[in-house]
A = this chain, B = another copy of it.
Amino acid sequence: MKALLLVAHGSRRKQSNDEVVLLADKLRKNCSQQYNIVNAAFLELAEVLIPDGIKQCIDAGASSITVLPYFLNSGRHVVEDIPNILNDCIALYPEIDISLAPHLGASSLMMDLLMASAETAKSL
C-alpha cells in the first residue's frame, strides 16, 4: 500500500494547522487512485509530528511513503531537518520505502499558480 504524507511546518495558530489537515483531506479525495493513505504531519508546534505520521502510515499498512513538504522555499527545514528526521525513520523501519518530494517553489506549476492567484486580487 502507498501512502502520501503532507508535511507542514506547524503553527501556534490552530487555524493554520487545520488548513493543512483539510488540505490533506482534499488530497485524499483527489488522489485515491495513486495513494491508499493520505495524512498530514508537522515538523514542530503541532501534532502529529513527522515520526508519528510515518508510524501511522505504516500501522495503516503502507509499504511505501511519499513525504510531500508543504514549504515554499528550500530553507533549512526542507534541506536538513526533514531529511534528518526521515533518515531516523528509515533506520527504524528499513523495510519501508520512504521518498521525499521537493519544496513547492521548485514546481514548474508554481508560475501558473502565482499568475492565477494574482488575477483573484481584490482592492483594499
Contact = CB atoms under 8 A, between A and B. Distances in A.
Interface of A: 4, 6, 8, 11, 13, 15-16, 19-20, 23, 26-27, 30-31, 34-35, 66-68, 70-76, 83, 86-87, 90, 97-102, 104-118, 120-124
A117 B34 CA distance: 13
Contacts of A72: 8, 70-72, 104
B123 A116 contact: no
Given A123-B98, A124-B99, A114 B16 contact: no
Nearest to A90: B124
A72 B121 CA distance: 16
6 contacts: A8-B72, A68-B114, A68-B117, A71-B72, A102-B120, A107-B113
